[in-house]
């Protein structure tokens, strides 16, 4: 099965992660990477792996980047990965053992979140469809992220992928701020009946950060992971705080703008005389 699988990875300044990710993909005959003009040593690391073929594309959305990547692959199956995903030996063996005549068109994988290499007991990351037939899949944007739509039947793999992002905190904060601007737009513009229960909690602003802290430490048993569990819980709480701040700011600016328009409509002469 592995000979029919091509890994697909998006990169932008992933030097803290990409070498570890590629080290677990040496079985692949070809690895397709879509790079968004990295300025660190990412490209040097990529070029050190003979199987890697790099394509360059200016970033607009994750879905567009991924769909561009699909166009560069001609094997039947695609293994879609982030640059900080580590494919475990167990998952590689499971993929290799999949029947070639399977009637399934895609497979989901679960995640173990790692903090500086230490796997946690729980994570907020849901299972993701990572292995699929090339002709059956297409990516769509979903808030700041993206998701895969597979036209066919799918199943869950039993083995895990390790999510182990070791980029510095400054880069994480930069990325989260960008993501939360997009999430704010999604939460404010999507009809309530199309939002998930979790998204509706996030709309409340004040509640969500504390819910996330409780969920990570207690329900996900992160408190048993020691410092790594607290680190993850604080990280996720901080992300929710950033989202709450963006929601409050956007709503207040929108309200002020509407008040200004109402004043202009009611007192047009005052605007004219003062100009």
Q: State how far the Cα of 251 lies from the Cα of 42, in Å rounded to an integer.
A: 39
pLDDT tier at 268 (50, 70, 90 boundaries)?
A: low
Domain ranges of the chain: 2-163, 169-262
β-pairing, 85-87 with 145-150?
Answer: unpaired
CATH match of 2-163 with 3.90.550.10: yes
Whole-number pLDDT of residue 198 = 85
Q: Which of 88, 114, 124 is nearest to 16 (CA)?
A: 114
Per residue in 167-205, pLDDT tens?
999 989 998 998 898 889 889 988 888 888 888 888 888
Whole-number pLDDT of residue 100 = 84
Q: Are 4 and 30 in contact (CB under 8 A)?
A: no
Per residue in 96-152, pLDDT tens?
999 988 899 999 999 999 999 999 999 988 999 999 999 999 999 876 667 899 999
β-pairing, 77-81 with 5-11?
Answer: parallel
Per residue in 215-261, pLDDT tens?
999 999 999 999 999 999 999 999 999 999 999 999 888 777 666 66
| Percentage of the residues of the chain whose pLDDT score is greater than 70 | 92
pLDDT at 270 over 60: no
Tell me how far CA of residue 90 lies from CA of 19, 34, 85, 100, 159, in angstroms: 20, 26, 14, 19, 6
The tokens for 80 are 């879609």
pTM of the model: 0.82
> Residue 221 in 3-state DSSP?
coil
């Amino acid at each position: 099965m592995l000979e029919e699988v091509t890994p697909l990875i998006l990169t932008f300044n992933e030097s803290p992660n990409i070498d570890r990710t590629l080290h677990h993909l040496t079985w692949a005959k070809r690895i397709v990477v879509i790079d968004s003009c990295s300025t660190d040593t990412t490209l040097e690391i990529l070029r050190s792996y003979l199987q890697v073929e790099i394509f360059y594309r200016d970033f607009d959305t994750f879905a567009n980047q991924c769909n561009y990547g699909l166009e560069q692959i001609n094997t039947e199956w695609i293994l879609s990965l982030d640059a900080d995903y580590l494919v475990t030996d167990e998952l590689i063996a499971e993929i290799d053992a999949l029947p070639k005549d399977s009637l399934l068109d895609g497979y989901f994988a679960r995640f173990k979140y790692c903090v500086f290499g230490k796997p946690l007991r729980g994570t907020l990351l849901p299972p993701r469809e990572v292995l699929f037939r090339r002709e059956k899949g297409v990516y769509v944007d979903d808030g700041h992220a993206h998701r895969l739509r597979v036209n066919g039947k799918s199943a869950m793999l039993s083995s895990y992928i390790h999510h182990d992002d070791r980029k510095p905190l400054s880069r994480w904060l930069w990325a989260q701020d960008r993501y939360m601007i997009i999430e704010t737009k999604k939460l404010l513009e999507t009809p309530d009946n199309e939002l998930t229960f979790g998204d509706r909690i996030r709309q409340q602003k004040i509640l969500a950060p504390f819910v996330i802290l409780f969920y990570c430490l207690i329900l996900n048993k992160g408190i048993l992971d020691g410092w790594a569990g607290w680190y993850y819980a604080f990280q996720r709480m901080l992300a929710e705080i950033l989202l709450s701040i963006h929601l409050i700011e956007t709503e207040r600016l929108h309200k002020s703008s509407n008040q200004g328009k109402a004043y202009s409509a009611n007192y047009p002469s005052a605007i004219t005389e003062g100009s």
